[in-house]
Structure 1
Amino acid sequence: MVISYFLLSSVITFALLGSYVVYRYHAELKRNLRQSLIVLSEDVVRHKFYLNDVRTIRQNFHLLEAYHSAPFVDHFDDLTFAMTKTPPPEADEVAVISVLPDGRYLTVRSNTLRIEQKSRGLALHLAAVFGLFLLLFVLLFWFFLARLLHPLQCLVRYCRSGAEAEKAVPACSGSAEVNELKHAIIALQQANRSLCREKQNIFKEAAHEIKAPIAVLKARLSLFAEDDAFEKTRFVSESEADIATVSSKLRELIFLKEIEWDMRKGREEVAMQEQCRLMQQVFQPILEKKGLTIVSNFEEDFTLRIHKAAILKVMQAVFENIFMHTKNDTVIRTIVDPGKKRLEIVNEIGSKSDETLFSSRIGSRMINRLADKLGYRYETRQHEGRFSTVITFDAAVPEGDLHLSVQ
């Protein structure tokens, strides 16, 4: 396509420039011929050739040796001389009309056949030279494009082949942009394979974690089927506990994998009071239903550079646990200490809520386990019916690849 556009633009440019050159050449030939005819008409008067007839005038010019090397000698065969008593009419050919001393009019005329031939010859010559140079340039340009686009064609073939990057790293080296594209494609393939491995690991870990609770549940079913004396109420209660264990393991695993992927992203500036306000907005329906009020020292704040999405999930789990275990129609206080980078949440203890909240109901054990990964300390204290949750951000978040697992 690039070559086609180049050819089209070159041909149009050549046609315009070539037409102008041929037109100027044609006009110059006509001007030179007219000047030669003027010289001839003046010589007719100077040498008194007009005293003879027009045939003799023509022969005299052939006989004069000085005219054999004249520029218009090749037009001799096309020249016509005419002498009339009245001015001749205008003609299409090149003609010069002069007044002779005896009052007659001398007309020296030549057709433009040779001028047209020379003009066509110049046009053909220019076209031949242009075509030759254009062909040579197109071949060089095609060779240059082939070399320039070869790395991209190599990358296309590599992507279509489905080859593994570890086994067949493409040697498609080119410009800096092409090399960056190559590295990006390889990195994308590696990330895709890593994602596939992560998905496989999720299923492996899930199978490992729920294997024991399912085995217990199967044994309980078998025992219930074989032992007629086994109490139904006890069986149902213990089976529900087994199912709750399986569900809890799966929720924890999914929660950990989400945190792990969130920690692969870059760190961002996070304002702690902004997170507290966000939690209040997220759980607003539950707060209204339970009659809870959040009071905070909003004039105090501190900013962390942390994995925003990951810490947001942890904060959501923390606040969910607090809302689920807070007494109805009470006040929850959030105390922000910028100097110590600490957030303290104080609530009155109530029975566990039956409300379905928005996160995965991750318990304190799981939140505490994530502390080292996200760089915080998690503490809980209970005193005289009040429960205090303290999160202190004082540790550095580890860099590099992260992997969290259920223990």
Structure 2
Amino acid sequence: MVLKDSEASHLQFIVTQEPYISKKNEITVAHTLSNGYHLNILSDYEKVDLSVKKYAQKLLSRYLVSLLIILLISIALLDYYMKPLAVLAKKTREWNNQKSFDYSLDNPGKEIEEVSYAFSTLIHRLEIFRSKEAELFQEAAHELKTPLALMRSRLDVYENNEQYQKSQFIEDLGNDIERLTSELKNVLFLESSDFEEASNINIADMLKKLQTKMAILIQRKQLTLTLPSETFSIVASEKLLSKVLSALLENAITYAKEESMVEIGCDHTTQKIWIENSIGDEKYLFSSKIGEKMLKRLSHELGFDYISTQSEAYFRIELVFTRFVQGA
């Protein structure tokens, strides 16, 4: 940048015995004369600042134009180089071993649109997770309740049952600690099953697994747990479904009257399962408000409606699956 002489502002000429010391917002040049005096030339910053501002604007406009040109060239190159990949992906998806592989450049933009939509969906899901971070931590911490209840019940049974061998107690407690460690990992790293592949799940098989898992809770309260004779299958995330049924069963066992029956029923014609327990001395019939919020959220993801009924004698919750249901 070169400043022209016309860009000097408010010029002043001063002759002094000593070089002039410039003040704020002044530009000063001193020249020593033959007689020992000093010729001082003064100017202010006004036009200099204006000139610098104009030059900065010129540089910015050049930068933006260059950036726009680079962007247009990049888009053109990406479009050119992505065409073969897009067509290859499409043809590979449609190919079967009964036909020869046909590789032709027809309608390559559709694959790019699908990839763009997939990324947009993923980003939207991650934004939802971030906005609900506190709620996710509450729900994740709530899931620690079941393994802790199992460990507490196992200790009570060991202390009150002489037939429960110490070696067996240590082995079972080790399994409980493994489950607790797994849940802690979910809490600390916010592991989610939202991206888990859906699979075909038999309701009766999952209930049998949960019965084994809850065995120590059942033994501690001397309960009788009845499993359904009927069954049906759904296509869903196994972790999510296990989370829901485990929470409901643990809730029923926790608040059931001692030496009573906890009934699990199933009707494959209406795709309905229910859990019913008699009411003990506990005040609450559902574990917590967090548990209720979890059930409401997961009901949408797994595709079921639920309703709870109660009286002075019993508490019952029903789940009716309306989506992803297969025959028994």
Hey, which of these two has a bigger chunk of helix by percent? Answer: 1
TM-score after normalising by structure 1: 0.36
Which structure has the larger Rg over C-alpha atoms? 1
Higher strand share: 2
TM-score after normalising by structure 2: 0.43
